[in-house]
Structure 1
Amino acid sequence: MRPICIATLAAFLGFGAAQYTVDPPTTAAPDTILDCTYWHVALANDTCEVVNEYPWLTLEEFYTYNPSLPEGCQFVVGNSYCVEQNWDIPPQSPSPTTTLVTSTMSATPTATPSTPAEWCASEAGGYVRYCPRCLYRCEDSAVFGQCFYSVFLTINYYDSQCWQHGGIDCANQAVDRVCPQT
């Protein structure tokens, strides 16, 4: 009875199947890193120069993320290739065993945002230039921080989806969807 339970559990959990952090939009090689969070879909004339479209990515990292990709970037048209690992968050380095901290300065507290514009700027990240356009989305909210966090998380989602599918001017397209001009 025990082997049957294990086999059933393995089948139920998808044992042996790749579980990517963000699923590729098309087929990806089975040895592609599992914690991939951003994908490039190969086009007919893609070369290694495609790496230049992703400023955070080096060619060495690209080959590390996609180990079965032959030298010279011989892409399979339509396949997905990983271009970002773990949302580009660097891995934590081990902490030292002994740390000595000395400081002669006192910490200056950061003011909590109080207006919708301040909350927008604090939550927008790289999309801060769109705050004037998106202010109306949260002006009547009781919880500005959470509202703007949600707005810009949604913009980031649409922006990422656009880029993954070879889009152009993706940030503006994403803002058009989430904060249409009235």
Structure 2
Amino acid sequence: MESHFNTSLTLKNSIIAIGAFDGVHLGHQAVIKAIVERSKLLKVPAIVYTFDPPPRVYFHGVHHLTSIHEKLAKLEMLGVQHVIVDSFDKAYSNRSAYEFIDDLMKLNPMEILVGQDFRFGYGRYGDIQLLRQYFTVRIAESVCCSNGARISSTRIRALISKGDLQLSQSLLGWPIVK
């Protein structure tokens, strides 16, 4: 797997999953496995486009579930060929939605997979509708645990803060690293 930090990458074609992927939990794993399988079928690279720190950590000061090094190791185990990591800081948060679209165009995505609440660009201006004006976009279905509740990084953080390490670890699908 190749990791690209704060740099522009140009590819002939690709399949991209975009997100914070903090924790690389079971929901994230389903998304990533889907792009890896699709990339094999289409014979194009599978790319994860992510951020360090995750936007929620930057804006709200929440606790990281995984360091960038842990995240990269987990993404490699899932079979991703490239990971693009942009530093999420004040300058990055002020970028327009169209600047992000320009970065994605260089990757020539055949498909982009995002979560249903995906937003991007300054003031969260960009949304799925805007992204669909430029690319083929698929929305990842939520992954739920056995009781039907959606698996999310926010939920896992709440479980950890309550001391429920067993359930949080089962939702992560990985051992919790302290």
TM-score clears 0.5: no
TM-score under structure 2 length normalisation: 0.21
Larger Rg: 1
| The structure with more strand, counted as a fraction of residues | 2
Higher RCO, 1 or 2 (CA under 8 Å, sep at least 6)? 2
